[in-house]
Chain A
Amino acid sequence: MTDFTPETRPNIFLRAWDSDIAYSFRRSPLAIVAAVVSLIIIFAAIFAPWLAPHDPFNPASLNLMDGFTPPMEPNAFTGNVYWLGTDDQGRDIFSTILYGARISLFVGFMAVLFAMALGITLGLIAGYRGGWVDSVLMRVADVQLTFPSILLALLIFGVARGFIPPAYREAMAIWVLIVAIGLAEWVQYARVVRGATMVEKNKEYVQAARVIGAHPTKILVRHILPNVMGPVLVIATIGLALAIIAEATLSFLGVGVPPTQPSLGTLIRIGQGFLFSGEWWILLFPALTLLALALSVNLLGDWLRDALNPRLR
């Protein structure tokens, strides 16, 4: 098949640097800080096994004597120093945060991908077909919107656990969580994509494709989809922050990932038990990490929304 990509073109990085989006990014200090913070956390999470000074999930490496070490102070018994202290079982808080962020981000990304796939597909179909298909899908969406999404995720999580045999519950928990959060968030994508599809499908380039009898699936995927992805990216970024918080909330409520694989939310739940006994660091550092992650991703989403909005440019 002939490819119309030019053979000689300017360096892709140069072109990206010169684009309007990149320009808007360079002009927004808040976006730069948010991007740096997110990237550091994401990088640390991905490379946790190599970056973490301890493996908090290897019981053999744990020493109960190290428990409750305050940050930056030598342990009273062993003399070991931990940057952010340790918890009741002597696990290094810094390491648990790295591993926790890894799980939080994994769940967040997967949930967003799931919600996106579902929302985009249904939104495209509803917007393009219209009629009763649209009515049914959008009424379902409306009904779902009347429930807080965290309640919905709780419900889905509960129902799913009922179906899964106890032996697999632990292993499947993380996937159930992803599906629960994804199902709770698809509506936003579907609505935005449906609206944009309804605008695009009446544009003349879509009519031109229909005149030659192009298949509807091809029109949807090749013509309309690329043109509705802008707003989807914005919601996806903000949705990532929301999904991370939803995961933390569920884990905090004790219905999320099992304590053997603690996410940031699980860490906060564990930590709050020690808040009033004086071991504040067990709660504070995971909570700060969650805050920094959710806030910076959200700020990035806000910036992206403004940058993609031609009216504000």
Chain B
Amino acid sequence: MSDTLLSVQGLTRHFDVSKPWLNRVIERDDRQYLTASDDVSFDIRKGETFALVGESGSGKSTIAKMIVGLLEPSAGEIRFDGKAMDFASGAAMRTLRRRFQMIFQDPFASLNPRWRVGDIIAEPIRTFGLMRGEEIGREVGRLLEVVGLSAADAAKFPHEFSGGQRQRIAIARALSSRPEFIVCDEPTSALDVSVQAQILNLMRDLQDEFGLTYLLISHDLSVVRHMSNRIGVLYLGRLVEVADAKRLFTDPQHPYTRMLLDAVPDLALSGRRRTPVTGEVPNPINPPPGCAFHPRCPHVMPECRQIQPHSIPTATGTAACHLLGQGAPRAQQG
């Protein structure tokens, strides 16, 4: 029996970013596609927190949206608890949908400003028909208390709350369908640090209490380090490294992971030596050929410019870098 809750295989998504038809004809341009997610595969085990980190254009949010059905994959498969997710089939998805939820980045946009907090939290309960009548009100009150607010807050509107309190409401809504799996898309990046700590602690407590599995999307390595068991590093839509959290920070395999770690400001003022970070993420519409990271890589080799590296098993995961597979190509040459 496998303890994998979510399995993503070869997940790919293209966006058509072509100019309008008339412009293309006149300017003799071809259709243009942006590959936001390119053949991404990973598994998330029950009860763990799996994090996807990356900078802008890395495709982390696109992947999150495909997993919860907000975007359709161009190719690839998502399996939840062994069952293939097919968002087109309404009836079959209904039971699956109840089991996963999402927490969004911006607590000011994720709550409908015209709805009372109670109705916001009750929406999943009502949509899935989990309870009726008075029961809903009691459940909403209980959920509000679970996330550290009071049951009386159900009658208020979102604008009466601070950013951190709103994120608590969003979490209560996500919990209301009693899910097993929650996709957290930059859940604290819109919050101040002191509030961020409250939300991160709350998320951990809830994970212990309800046995939740998280997919955490973030650009903040410190947050990821604090929250997750395993981490996937994305660069321009490709998964460049997957590793156990501890291992990733002590022994990064991919040069990009190393660079990201070096870019984190050193709060401890330890004066640790850091390689200066160079360059910026290129335009994802025309990513560099071969390994997309090669123009910024300090260890670039000729094959990096032509051949896209495959994921190679490492101590606790995988990494896609020619440096790691060096043995193989060299042997072929010799």
Contacts and interface: CB of A to CB of B under 8 A. Distances in A.
A and B pair up:
yes
Interface of A: 1-2, 4-6, 203-205, 207-214, 223, 226-227
A207 B97 contact: no
B199 interface: no
A207 B68 CA distance: 10
Given A2-B118, A208-B102, A214-B127, 18 more contacts: A1-B132, A1-B133, A1-B136, A2-B122, A2-B134, A4-B118, A203-B109, A204-B105, A205-B110, A208-B104, A208-B123, A211-B70, A212-B123, A212-B124, A212-B128, A213-B69, A223-B112, A227-B113
B111 A205 contact: yes
A204 B106 contact: yes
A205 B109 contact: yes
Which of A5, A203, A205, A209 neighbours the largest number of chain B CB atoms within 10 Å of its CB? A205
A19 to B, nearest CB: 13
A212 B134 contact: no
B90 A204 contact: no
A211 B69 contact: yes
Interface residues of B, number: 42
B199 to A, nearest CB: 16
A224 B211 CA distance: 34
A208 B173 contact: yes
Contacts of B241: none
B154 interface: yes
Top 4 closest A-B pairs, CB basis? A4-B118, A6-B155, A204-B110, A2-B137
B116 interface: yes
Given A212-B177, A214-B127, A2 B105 contact: no
A213 B105 contact: no
A226 B134 CA distance: 26
Interface string B74-94: 000000000000000010011
B114 interface: yes
B100 to A, nearest CB: 8
Nearest to B111: A205
Contact of B102 (A1, A211, A213, A223): A211
A204 B64 CA distance: 13
B117 interface: yes
Given A4-B154, A204-B106, A213 B137 contact: no
B110 A208 contact: yes
Given A207-B104, A208-B110, A211-B101, A2 B155 contact: no
Interface string B223-266: 00000000000000000000000000000000000000000000
Nearest to B156: A6
A161 to B, nearest CB: 41
Nearest to B177: A212
B20 to A, nearest CB: 11
Contact of B114 (A210, A214, A226): A226
B119 interface: yes
Contact of A213 (B90, B113, B122, B136): B90
